[in-house]
Structure 1
Amino acid sequence: MPGLYPVTFGEIELLRDLDRQDGWVLSKDGVPQSYVDLQDPTYLDFEYVQLMADVIDVLPEGPLSCVHVGGGACTIPRYVATTRPGSRHIVIEPDGLLVNLIREQLDLRSVPRLKVLVMDGREGAARVWDSSADLVVLDAFAGATMPVELATAEYMGDLARVLRASGTLLVNLADGKGLAFARRLTATVQDTFGHVALLSEPGVLRGRRFGNLILAASRTALPVDLLTRRAAGGLTQARCLHGDALTRFVAGAAPIRDGEPVLAPVPPPAVFG
């Protein structure tokens, strides 16, 4: 049912998509957090989620063992469960009432082989076994802001511990003019993983508007040529930076360390207004 629902960390609004009978938007404080189509989990409404799916689709065929830091409405677990039957999912989400809401209202029980850990991202990742995941998806936001404690070199090291040697990390971040946070977070991921690519819409990459950027990282080579073609061929006509282009983007930015007074960017009011 559409409406406002109290959760552990505030209030969530469920909104029906008037253009799709089974489409739902989960929103918090006026910021859209997740979109799901209950009958077609392969329909991805948000552009940045489409880019994450582009990366997932080029991974080796077959089921994946996945860890998702940040639950929301579990859009990516639903997508992977549909496109790669037999996949396993651990979802780390600190808001237990939100998890209950998604179970009851958005049919989370229909996603097979999914386990939820109700704890914060750092505590939850520490509970996951070494070398147990093919894919880690870090998509955790407090409203429209990424928690800085999930953007540090120390945390990236813990996610690398969870991943198998050939595993892939996906990070959703948001930034605006100057892209200072995006550069530092990219440097942080590069400090841990040898192979990194950054995907986003050209206007966001140029710092012309606030928006989402996707980092893909692995200790083995990424299929960057294929990713570049897939990103450019989508509706967003996104770019994929890697190699020398990504080095120029980072421009010597320093990795983020635990305890540093780093502020994650907050979107201008007009972005969601």
Structure 2
Amino acid sequence: MSVTRVTDKADVPTRSGHASPNPRWTAALVTGGSSGVGLALARRLVADGTTVLVCGRDPGRLADAAAQIPGLRTLVADLADPDDVGRLARAAADLPGLDLVVHNAAVQLDRDWVVTQRPGATGPLVRDAAAELAADLGAPLHLTAHLLPVLAQAPHAAVVSVTSALGTVPKRSAPVYCAAKAGLSAFTTSLRYQLRAAAPHVRAIEVALPLVDTAMTAGRGARKITPDAAASAILSALTGRRDRVHVGPVRILLSIHRVAPRLAARIVAD
């Protein structure tokens, strides 16, 4: 990637060698911003003066989000559809001063790959898996590829990947979701290494969230954090020095996993 860096703002080195910028952002893309964590994050960013574009599959929810947050920009897009991802990338690239991309959207489908399958009846399972991987992993990769050259023009910029402890300690019921989160974590780490050499003013940050009280987690687990708390964790990561942030219970679970992986597996297995 060819990089031309603008240097009209002061940078402060971080532990990883990246710049720790002023916490104000000019323009941001937040995927999955019509509800939950994305909506809470968009609200906070807009309140701070950031131009924010969010996407979602439901036009009604996007309209409600725009009504709640004056100035919020919205785009109907299905992240499992490559054409929609391309449209979203172009819309984000057109935002003046784009300097923040948050890969927040995710789909989690509970599928049993053994019990529910019959010979010759794998079509729905394969289609669901392909769509889930496309939305949860393919879309972040494609958007990053399209938008990195734009981000590199900013004085400081960041790509934030919202992940989960399930990428390290998977659960039984959602194998594709767990695989996608593992892949997104690995991609973000590799991207960070490349940015350090080629564009050190662009950060690649991973924020692993615990269960958040959203529609996607309805009926799943307890002791969830609120979308506002999750948004606060993401914003704290953007102003902090760590490029991998494990929030709340995630930190505890991964600490257990390091010393007692079987115990960690029993904690999350369902």
With the length of structure 1 as denominator, give the TM-score of the two structures: 0.45
Name which structure has the greater RCO, CA cutoff 8 Å, separation 6+: 2
With the length of structure 2 as denominator, give the TM-score of the two structures: 0.46
